[in-house]
Structure 1
Amino acid sequence: MSVIAGWGFVVLPDTDSAVPLARRLARESTVLHHPSGRPWLVHNHPAEQVAVSADRSDHRLAVVGFSAATPASLNQAARHLDGPDRLARELDGSFWVVASFAGRSHALGSALGVRRIFRARIDGVWVASDRADVLAELGSFDFDETTLAMRTIMPLVHPLSEEPLWRGVEPVAPGDSLTIEADGNRCWHRRWWTPPGAELDRRGGAQRLRDRLAAAVATRTSGGGVVHSDLSGGFDSTPVTYFASLGRARVVASTAYNTDPGGREDLVWARKALPVMRGIEHSTMSLESLPAFYLGLSEVTARFDEPSETIRAAPRIAAMIQVARSNGARVYLNGLGGDHLLSPMPAWDHTLLRRRPLTALRRVRTSQLLEGTDYRTAFLPLLRSQPYRTWFGRMVEAMEFRDPYRKVTAMELAWDQQLYWPRWLTTAHRAAVTARLRKIAGTADPLAPALGDHAYLAVIRGGARVARAGAQLGAAQQVAFESPFLDDRVVEACLATRIQDRGHPKQFKPLIRNAMQGLLPDDFLRRTRKTSGDPQASRGIRAAEPELIDICHHSVLAERGIIDLDVLRSHAFPRERWMPVRDVDATLTCALFARNHTNRHHGSQPTDAQYPGERRGDIPS
């Protein structure tokens, strides 16, 4: 049985007590060693995704993922660094940094959460992994039922995503690093990343975004071979594909279309951009040839280490990854994160009012006219201000059942969206979740002091969770499913741009439009909208209703009395064509997440990656 599903790693302390854990992992993995010779990093990532320094001192460094790091550059860094933080702040790409310095083990992921670190005490020592489920299986930890119940609630307001899904497995917050003492008896977290100040005007921000996105894509194409790239004709995947076309890899780009009104628009816009992409092999596919949203979920066997909205589209994404793999692709590039980074948010104006009041008021007036709201709705929320913990506590006490047909306007303004109960969450678990939420309210801190900055970081973290689940789905098929827009350096370029220059209510993603001027055709850069997949999702959920009910019926959620199936049947599925919010999504993804662990479905294949002096299963006795 595979402990590490897809790709993953485990970091061990420099002690003999960790050797038995390494033996449990070694048969299917590559083992790197502490300078002492004890097992340090056990992984099954492809060789191209791992750079490691030579074993020549009491300092050793590894970078896992996509970056420009090489063994030579890491040898140099290992001689001059006292920790992995500076390296993580300097490299382009998306990666983890793992270090063994003077006996201590260090590990950190990315700043916004695409690459995560988790920790657990197993067999008497602290160990770390990039996947929570790996530690849960190593330690035989059970689910935390209250957290499972809480994950059926929408939306996932900060810091609910940081609540452990397994008892005994603790997340390291994005932007924090983990250090484990050599004896494995003590560990601690330390903040290594803070957001940059927003000081760049649009021109400066666009230039930095252009440079960093180009560098991010280059980390995926520099290895050559075949790289697949989505080409939707939008302002997210198209720049990614353009920069991929400049690299060493053979790039196969695909554009999907459908028969819905406007469903062929993407083809038109993609073809406008293609002439400047030299060497691209372009193909098209009908979405009708792929699994529909929600259909085929019972066949999903990939393991995820948290519930994610990615799961509802997993059959479709997996089919697209399989097409890329059949063409020989080792990397699948996508535009995930572009919407999260580049679309303006009403919350920005709350913060801008306190910095540039006249600019903020003009922007809000524009939004008011576009939304058709009254002055009171548009302007009064700008004046409200309350501490995050106060807001969170009041929100918890105000929780109720959602009216699924109530339309939420873009002008509604708070630290985040209101939480609602799914009607099918049982009374006992609703009480347990309420108690947990009240406890969280007493310690919750925002991601940034200003409401607009917090909201932006929260949205980016939400995008990172989607991308991370996609990466786990790709790894199950041995293809790297990569989202360059969510790389730390790319995100920092957007964060460093002033709010008023980052986006505007009347403009469609102006920052990336400016960034790509002179690179993509002017005719393409005139695009002002992008069609959504909502009609496809609405059709899919109606067609899949019997299958979805069956998934919930046979889930841990039903088995442990977390959900009431009769209530779910009555309230979870739309009886009309239009339902803006589907609370059942969170329940379904939670049910599938838990099922694929309790049933022990595994999708990993051992890799053949080895390193000079490192042998598979080479564990000292």
Structure 2
Amino acid sequence: ATSGPAPALFQSTEVNFEERLMRWSTGWYGEGSGPGRAPGNGRPVPGCEAAWTVGWPADRVRAAGSGPLALAVVGDCGADDQQLGRALERVRAKDWRALTRWPGSYLTIARSGEAWAVIGDLAGQHPVYWRTESAGTWWSTSAGALAALDGAPVDPTALAAHLAFGQPDVLGQRSLFRTVNRVPTGHLLLIRPEQSAAVRYEPAEYTPVNLHEAAPIVRAALSEAVAVRVGDRPVSADLAGLDSTTLACLAARSGPVDAVTFADERLRDDDLAYAVRTAATVPNLAHHTVPGSLDTVYYEAVGDLDRLPVTDAPSAYVVTASIKRAVLDTVAVRTRVPGVHFTGAAGDAVLSAPSAYLADLLREGQHRRAFRHAQAHARLRRTSVLSVLRRARPASRTDLPASWRQLAATLRQVPGEWVPQAQQPVGWTPLLATAGWMSPDVRGQLANALDTAAGHSAGAPRLLAAWADRQDLARVGTETSGWREIALAGHGIEIAAPFLDNEVIRACLAVPADERGAPGRYKPLLAEAFTGTGVLPGFVLSRVTKGGFNALAYAGLTRHAPVLMDLLGSSSRLAAAGLVTQAPVARMLARAAAGQPTAQGALHLAVAAEVWLRQLEAHAASSWWEVGARAAA
């Protein structure tokens, strides 16, 4: 990406994913008797020739049929064996979407004649990647494992897009590794003798359903999502905000739940008060407080990379790892392993909506409704109605491809002074502060990639909210996968995030954003779904407050500023590739130390990416075994 020798990570990548990345799946479809390679410690998937899982428990890999008509699911899938057997008719008909409608979060592998479909989930917890060779196609849920087949390097431009935009689908099928393709959100991988391609199976926008009609569907989907994970395992749950409290109360209807609340006195929120009151009201909830300490701050874990598991993509949870470990330590003391721990991750993304939906109301000519909503948002933000509408108006006059072309033009200019995101115009793809930290060469390459992406954006949603919702979910799904690796590697605990399940996403996002995000009520969809059901106490459903971690973020930034400056300084792998430059990072860290507004999200992304690159470099090995006479990579 820049002149001079590139760091090793941008030359070759061979990571020991069978040891470091605990769970992944892979398969080969092509000519001859076999691919000549198999994943280390891989277990064949029943009924699916040349497909394996690595690290998945046997009861989480189930199948029906074999040969030219086969179906397998990997993960938490609510379909029983009889349902899987009946679903073979849907496989025969190539009705792929029908195979994604069961409760839970799982990967689907299906064969109908010569056609194979590999289907991840809508939130990227089971991502799908592929690469083609002359004799066939490899697929995997791990991009790094596919890169390790021949040492394919990290793609600096794709990593730049990850840092600058935070929206996984901006560059479409481009993964973080060269020669490795990714299946975008809402698509599946369809492998046929003539080609392998990503094919859309989920509509870009859902047919609108009003909030009242959607409420019982949301309640049923969320209840099933929790029930499918409980079983006979020990259950624990976060008990903090409205989202996690809902999951804890649903789980408690099936049996005992160890509920934990992280209660650092620096947070100054009311999560603990609500948690104590909820546990005293709801049967089967045993409440435990996790006190904060000097070490439970952001960035505490980045000084010791050996204690962090290698993930397949940069994970924002490396920033908050010490806080998550404190919670998991408390859970581990009180439950036997392996247990399942529920988190409310993605609740905000599906149950509410950012004020960007105002741009859609203006686009559709609903000016009176837009004005009423803008008034309410202005009161919440203590600003004027005019300023709220001015932020939304530019996005209402453009579409996704045009916005990317405008963004490309901005990237070719000299970066200006940093302005907090809340003060910038609403955008289809907001440009994060990290974009201003990159070298001109990298910004130019990223601009070129954006122009290319704009020319291949057919099928993009018409509404900004539809695009933003999906991207938020894909981002949260990837981050939650990182937390799952931390929990499994360090504690043997399963992380369950039901708000990321396909059916929960579909039920919630069918409600228009202006109904989910109406500022007059806090998460009205959840209240409509559970009021009068006895699942949640009334005082929980009427809650209008939400905790935040800003105090711990600033405490971590202040305490670990020297570590972060060294991490992102002259020896940084990101710096060697031109993905960050030292001066703007130093200025941003100085702002944080002074208690001034800071681009926290941008710093999180940069730190997580730097940690990821260093881990890939430090744990070089091969993920594949040689099979037969063919040489392994």
TM-score range, shorter chain: 0.7 to 0.9
**Matched residue SS, 2:508:** helix
How far did 1:421 drift?
A: 5.0
What's the counterpart of residue 265 of structure 2? 259
Amino acid paired to 2:235: V
2:358 paired residue among 349, 352, 369: 349
What's the counterpart of residue 527 of structure 2? 513
What's the counterpart of residue 592 of structure 1? 611
What's the counterpart of residue 82 of structure 2? 72
> CA distance change for structure 1 residues 569 and 408 in 2, over 3 Å: closer, same or farther?
closer
Give the 5 Å matches for 1:8-47.
Answer: 8-13=24-29, 15-16=31-32, 18-22=34-38, 25-26=39-40, 28-32=41-45, 34=47, 38-47=49-58
How far did 1:567 drift?
A: 5.5
Task: After superposing the two structures, state which structure 1 stretch, 394-403 or 152-161, moved more.
Answer: 152-161
Give the 5 Å matches for 1:83-122.
Answer: 83=94, 85-121=96-132
Give the 5 Å matches for 1:406-421.
Answer: 406-409=419-422, 412-420=425-433
How far did 1:191 drift?
A: 1.3
How far did 1:579 drift?
A: 2.1
In 1, distance between residues paired with 2:72 and 2:629?
A: 20
> CA distance change for structure 1 residues 488 and 414 in 2, over 3 Å: closer, same or farther?
same
> CA distance change for structure 1 residues 31 and 2 in 2, over 3 Å: closer, same or farther?
farther
Give the 5 Å matches for 1:444-455.
Answer: 444=457, 447-455=460-468
**Where does structure 1 lack aligned partners over 5 or more consecutive residues?**
605-615
In 2, distance between residues paired with 1:449 and 1:530?
A: 31
**Matched residue SS, 2:87:** helix
**Residue 540 (structure 2) pairs with residue 524 (structure 1):** yes
> CA distance change for structure 1 residues 560 and 237 in 2, over 3 Å: closer, same or farther?
same
In 2, distance between residues paired with 1:156 and 1:13?
A: 30
2:443 paired residue among 423, 427, 430: 430
How far did 1:564 drift?
A: 3.5
The answer to whether the Cα contact below 8 Å between 2:73 and 2:109 also exists between their aligned partners in 1 is: yes
Q: State, as a whole percentage, how many aligned pairs show the same letter.
A: 20
**Matched residue SS, 2:339:** strand
**Residue 149 (structure 2) pairs with residue 138 (structure 1):** yes
What's the counterpart of residue 218 of structure 1? 227
> CA distance change for structure 1 residues 171 and 278 in 2, over 3 Å: closer, same or farther?
same
What's the counterpart of residue 297 of structure 1? 302
Superposed CA deviations along residues 384-433 of structure 1, whole A, max 9, x for unmatched, are 412322222112322453644x4443794332423445554233333333
Give the 5 Å matches for 1:241-280.
Answer: 241-247=248-254, 250-260=256-266, 262-263=268-269, 265-280=270-285
In 2, distance between residues paired with 1:298 and 1:244?
A: 36
What TM-score does the superposition give when structure 2 sets the normalisation length? 0.86
**Residue 359 (structure 2) pairs with residue 385 (structure 1):** no
The answer to whether the Cα contact below 8 Å between 1:122 and 1:138 also exists between their aligned partners in 2 is: no
The answer to whether the Cα contact below 8 Å between 2:204 and 2:460 also exists between their aligned partners in 1 is: no
Amino acid paired to 1:557: L
> CA distance change for structure 1 residues 351 and 539 in 2, over 3 Å: closer, same or farther?
same
**Residue 561 (structure 2) pairs with residue 550 (structure 1):** no
What TM-score does the superposition give when structure 1 sets the normalisation length? 0.87
What's the counterpart of residue 179 of structure 2? 168
How far did 1:292 drift?
A: 1.6
In 2, distance between residues paired with 1:122 and 1:599?
A: 28
In 1, distance between residues paired with 2:511 and 2:225?
A: 18
The answer to whether the Cα contact below 8 Å between 2:561 and 2:593 also exists between their aligned partners in 1 is: no
The number of residue pairs the alignment matches comes to: 596
Task: After superposing the two structures, state which structure 1 stretch, 449-458 or 168-177, moved more.
Answer: 449-458
**Residue 594 (structure 2) pairs with residue 576 (structure 1):** yes
In 1, distance between residues paired with 2:257 and 2:461?
A: 39
What's the counterpart of residue 12 of structure 2? none
How far did 1:68 drift?
A: 1.2
> CA distance change for structure 1 residues 448 and 531 in 2, over 3 Å: closer, same or farther?
same
Superposed CA deviations along residues 549-575 of structure 1, whole A, max 9, x for unmatched, are 333354432444544446644544424
How far did 1:350 drift?
A: 2.8
Please provide the CA RMSD for this pair.
Answer: 3.1
What's the counterpart of residue 608 of structure 1? none
